[in-house]
């Protein structure tokens, strides 16, 4: 299969750092490995991502999945990488085109219901759903940064068509 790439953000105090999220789907026994100094909550992302994608009718292939979060020297914590991991895996599985997610920072955690599909559709330029428009209206691609620190991390976040956000360096 292919390599999927997208971007996420790691917080170190009040400073945000852009993190490359790379996913590889390879033949072999089914496994899901997250590397790049993840904490315990991020290590559980494999279960949350699989459940969200399966319940969103975009299942992840039952193959060997390796997700790398770089730079490896920077600690990554929390569930805010789940959406970026899901999108990178869907790109690697060739269910979302790489061009649709290039340069887009994905922040948030997909719910076990349909949020991953909403995030994937938003990344691919699909239908945008807002509040009050069904369960996917609470889709993770519409997740807003909390506390303001994430918004200042690497530049100004600009909303793009489809609900995705693009980080513009300052």
What number of other Cβ atoms are within 10 A of residue 121's Cβ?
A: 23
Query: What's the pLDDT tens digit per position in 28-87?
Result: 999 999 999 999 988 889 899 999 888 888 888 899 999 999 999 999 998 899 999 999
**CATH class assigned to 3-168:** alpha beta
With a threshold of 0.85, does the pTM exceed it? no
- Please tell me the predicted confidence (pLDDT) of residue 162: 53
Token readout for 169 is 């360096």
Q: Report which of residues 121 and 19 the model is more confident about.
A: 19
DSSP state of 105: B
DSSP state of 32: E
pLDDT above 60 (res 24): yes
Asked whether 142 and 163 are in contact (CB, 8 A), the reply is yes
Asked whether 154 and 74 are in contact (CB, 8 A), the reply is no
């Amino acid at each position: 299969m292919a390599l999927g790439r997208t971007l996420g953000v790691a917080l170190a105090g009040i400073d945000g750092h852009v993190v490359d999220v790379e996913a590889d789907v390879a033949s072999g026994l089914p496994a899901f490995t997250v590397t790049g100094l993840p904490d315990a909550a991020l290590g559980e992302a494999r279960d949350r991502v699989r459940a969200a994608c399966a319940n969103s009718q975009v299942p992840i292939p039952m193959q060997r999945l390796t997700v790398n979060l770089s730079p490896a020297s920077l600690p990554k914590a929390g569930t805010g990488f789940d959406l970026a991991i899901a999108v990178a895996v869907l790109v690697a599985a060739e269910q979302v085109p790489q061009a649709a997610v290039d340069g887009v920072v994905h922040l948030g955690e997909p719910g076990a219901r349909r949020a991953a599909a909403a995030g994937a559709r938003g990344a691919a330029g699909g239908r945008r759903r807002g509040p009050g428009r069904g369960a996917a209206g609470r889709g993770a691609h519409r997740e807003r940064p909390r506390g303001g620190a994430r918004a200042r991390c690497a530049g100004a976040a600009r909303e793009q068509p489809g609900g995705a956000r693009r980080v513009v360096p300052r």
